[in-house]
Structure 1
Amino acid sequence: MAIDESSSKENPRICTVLGGRSFIGRSLVQLLLKSEQWTVRIAGSAPSLILDRKEQNSILSDAVSIGRASYFQVDVREKSQVCEAIEGSTVVFHMDALDLSVHDIYHHYMVTVQGTKNVINACRECKVKRLIYNSSADVVFDGVHSIHNGDESLPYPWRYEDRLSDFRSQAEALILFANGTDGLLTCALRPSNVFGPGDTHFIPYLIGEARSVRAKGMVKICVTSPMLTMLPMPIFVQSKLYVQGWLLWLERPWIHLPAMLVLIVVVLLEWVHKKFGPHINCQPQLNPSLVHFLSCTRTFNCSNAQKQLGYSPIVSLEEGVTLTIESFSHLSGDSSYLRYRDCNKPSKVDKLLGGGKVADILLWRDEKKTFTCLLALVFLLCWFFLSGRTFISSMARLLVLVSVILFIHGILPFTMFGFAIEKIPPSYFEASETVLKDRLTFLATTWNEGVVCTLRTLAQGDDWSLFFKVACSLYFLKLFLSFSFPVMASVGLVLAFTIFIVYEQYEEEVDKLLITSHSYVKKSKEFLDGHLPPFLAAFLSNNQRLGQDDRSSQKHQ
């Protein structure tokens, strides 16, 4: 913000902050008073200025006592009240302090759009030189498409997902259109997801929603997708700070799901609600607009602000998050479960899957690859088992289809309609001898160490525990084989893409359940051993002792 040369500590200029008691307005007032170059008029909807506990002995309270700060009750829907507050001001900051607790579309329109018209007209009548409007980055966001490195040249979308963004875009257009009229210079700032100490909307909304869902016994879904950011930095860093800081206070369980999967489920639930809403008492907790908002990447280029205004962040993002967490630390006072899991440490299921491409696909770390593999497997399932054809005929048709696709791809030129077409190298159709030997060696080793060793132990007849395990496994396999193969393949496909990611999120709970189950099985075994008939107990004891002797003699040999 440029300051007139004549402005100084001895001769401060007058500025008015409309919405000066809002979250952003309070911080702006503090900075203006701290510069000691402005006499600040604070305008708000409250009848009088009420200082909270933290403001009792602050710059604001001192400025009010010596007359460097004053308060005006202003309703922006009344132009006369605006004129009274800004009369004699050099700069007017219009913070658009809309009360989001009021769910009235007409009220929002009158305050945002009509109120901005009144502010512009009042500034022209009172000969105000500068008008700065606090807009929002939502005015260039359609709620669906991501924004990468956006700047001031972005156009307004043809439609918005919510009315409030539409109203703000209209207000911003009025501000920019008024630039240069009657000597009034205007500009609009577009902050995005502003947070900090004293926040009354963003962080309380996150915590309140999560706690209300938890209180209802429902699962809180955290979309693992990029969130909104003000600075050009990796989005996952800010999301991680949110989770490690504010949302750390909230009770688990958490389910981290890919955005596309959540969107499909939300759209399905919304359709069910619209179709059966009158007959069932349920209301979806999420809507497609919110999922789109949370799953879209939005980054903006601040180079023009740096070049033309000399802008540089006073507080870094990490420091801002730290200060905010400290200011909301009282919310964690009733929490006895401040648990945190190191997200950088590989999980057990990640180690089980090898931590490579298979883990990335089955744990939904790369949505495109996961959905590609899922659709390919579904296509093969339908092609081979749900089409009604035999396996040989389905295989023959698939080979014909692949041959046609490869032939067409081979005769295409290297460029078409301005797009480069990558040719498939011959190495893609070859398998090296080393890879084949490694695979065959792995299969042979697995067979020898698993099946052959198990069969040898069973043939010796000295391990009843292994016998019962094998018998139960074969029995359950018999039950599975009683179902048709297409049904088994479908169930297996669904489980493969869900059970691993669910176990990763509930790793501690599942491990505790397994430990508990194992203890019950062990106690049941001890109970049975203590109540077996004497002759059967003696027989099992002798066989177990003979088996141990045989194993020890084999080791010595």
Structure 2
Amino acid sequence: MAEKAAAYDVARGGWSETRTCVVLGGRGFIGRTLVNRLLRLGGWIVRVADSSSHSLLPDSSSGSDSLLSDAISSGQASFCHVDVLDTSQIVKVTTGADVVFYMEPTDLDAHDFCNCYMIIVQGAKNVINACRESKVKRLVYNSSADVVFDGSQDILNGDESFTYPGKFKDMTVDLKFQAEGLIRVANNIGGLQTCVLRPSNVFGSGETQFVPLLANLSKFGSGGNMSDFTYVENVAHAHICAAETIDSRVVSVAGKAFFITNLEPIMFWEFISLILEGLGYQRPFIKVPTWMVSYVVILSQYIHDKLSYRMYRYSVSPHYIVQLASRNRTFDCSAAQKHLGYSPVVSLEDGIKLTVASFSHLSKDSSFMRFGNFDEQSKAEKLLGSGIALSLSRGNISFQTVQSDGGIKQDASIGHYLNT
């Protein structure tokens, strides 16, 4: 792999000697994966910087951290705490670096607008200013495909010409959109070249919110909408590809944004089913007693507010979950292939297998999940003799009576409840 990367450098006119990089947010989900990939490739001196208040120092006893611990011992890597609201700290860690990879902190309270704004938007401004002051030439920012999705319409094979929504329903996506704009506008000012990556539905080993959310969705219905999911190792690979090509005179990369996917669109619920089946669950389906139908929206809000399911550590509203689960959302990754030289290094099938293996604690037979047997008939069902099946399809929530003989009768659709 290192030899391939070196050949790639020569072909692209990039660096052929050891380079120094800074990974801001290097202890987060994507940041950790990027750090490990850089260290495995070789040819990089990696400065890991993070503002998180926990899980900062690498644990040499942990398999995922052993590579970083060894690299720190050998001088190939270093670690420091950096507050993105303190420009002087960013300047200190980025001085002398060839490239900065920027991932925002993942421990944000999405209910605190002021804090989120300061971290996401002001943080982006500070990173830009610090890179200019420290004479960094390349800045790669990890955005999200969410910045073009507002849930109001399907996106089928959307490319970089896809327009931004006029209004965002999710506060943190709105702020990320603003940060992305700042990064792109900063290109070619003060000698800094920038690039933005928009991965779609990132998943993988070490992620602490998305897959657990899927495990809890094991109780819900199915739909045929298509989605793009991206294994985290491929996102890390895309960052390195962007760093290698950002100053190329042959292709146009600087100042641009690129969608990153696994190049394998899949039905949203098929993806969830593969995860859940790997964990030992049946394919998603729920039976809800009839008296609970009118409380579905309230229940969804309860899940959001009380159990605090989050994606990328940002709160996910019930509206967003339904939109994500019911809308087509696929992206054209050909620009990244053509201009960045990107192609997935881990297939979707292998990514799912690796992810399932890393979440054994969420398996059906684990002590963590044993409290909820979703296959058993509920006491309410036994008492009432029937139930309600919940089906998510293209923005609508349909309810079907599950009859005593196993037959299903269509009753109603309340899609308008969750699409306002």
Alignment of 1:215-294 (within 5 A): 220-226=219-225, 228-229=227-228, 230-236=261-267, 239-246=269-276, 249=279, 255=285, 270=297, 287-294=318-325
Judged with a 3 Å threshold, the aligned counterparts in structure 2 of structure 1 residues 49 and 273 are, in CA distance, closer, same or farther, namely closer
Shift of 1:109: 0.8
Any idea what SS the aligned residue of 2:220 has? Answer: strand
Judged with a 3 Å threshold, the aligned counterparts in structure 2 of structure 1 residues 504 and 139 are, in CA distance, closer, same or farther, namely farther
The one-letter code matched in structure 2 to 1:242 is I
Q: Deviations over 1:236-256 (max 9, x none)?
A: 2x5324224336647679536
Percent of residue pairs bearing the same amino acid type:
44
Alignment of 1:124-523 (within 5 A): 124-207=132-215, 209=216, 220-226=219-225, 228-229=227-228, 230-236=261-267, 239-246=269-276, 249=279, 255=285, 270=297, 287-332=318-363, 333-334=366-367, 498-499=401-402, 503=406
Q: Name the Cα RMSD after superposition.
A: 4.0
Q: Deviations over 1:439-463 (max 9, x none)?
A: xxxxxxxxxxxxxxxxxxxxxxxxx
Any idea what SS the aligned residue of 2:117 has? Answer: helix
Shift of 1:162: 0.6
Shift of 1:269: 5.6
Judged with a 3 Å threshold, the aligned counterparts in structure 2 of structure 1 residues 7 and 296 are, in CA distance, closer, same or farther, namely same
Match of 2:23 in 1: 17
Structure showing greater radius of gyration is 1
CA contact (8 A) 2:221 2:392 kept: no
CA contact (8 A) 1:231 1:300 kept: no
Q: Does 2:31 match 1:32?
A: no
Aligned length: 332
Any idea what SS the aligned residue of 1:503 has? Answer: coil
Whichever structure has more strand as a proportion of its residues is 2
Any idea what SS the aligned residue of 2:27 has? Answer: coil
CA distance in 1, matches of 2:265, 2:15: 40
CA distance in 2, matches of 1:366, 1:114: 38
Whichever structure has more helix as a proportion of its residues is 1
CA distance in 2, matches of 1:366, 1:272: 19
CA distance in 2, matches of 1:102, 1:197: 23
Shift of 1:196: 0.9
The one-letter code matched in structure 2 to 1:224 is G
Q: Does 2:104 match 1:113?
A: no
Match of 2:256 in 1: none
CA contact (8 A) 1:131 1:184 kept: yes
Match of 1:67 in 2: 75
CA distance in 1, matches of 2:362, 2:298: 36
Any idea what SS the aligned residue of 1:119 has? Answer: helix
Gaps of 5+ in 1: 212-219, 258-264, 278-284, 341-361, 375-493, 506-557
TM-score normalised over the length of structure 2: 0.68
Match of 2:411 in 1: none
CA distance in 2, matches of 1:231, 1:26: 19
Shift of 1:7: 4.0
Shift of 1:192: 1.2
TM-score normalised over the length of structure 1: 0.53
The one-letter code matched in structure 2 to 1:222 is G
The one-letter code matched in structure 2 to 1:329 is S
Any idea what SS the aligned residue of 1:255 has? Answer: coil
Any idea what SS the aligned residue of 1:200 has? Answer: coil
CA distance in 2, matches of 1:310, 1:27: 20
Judged with a 3 Å threshold, the aligned counterparts in structure 2 of structure 1 residues 222 and 175 are, in CA distance, closer, same or farther, namely same
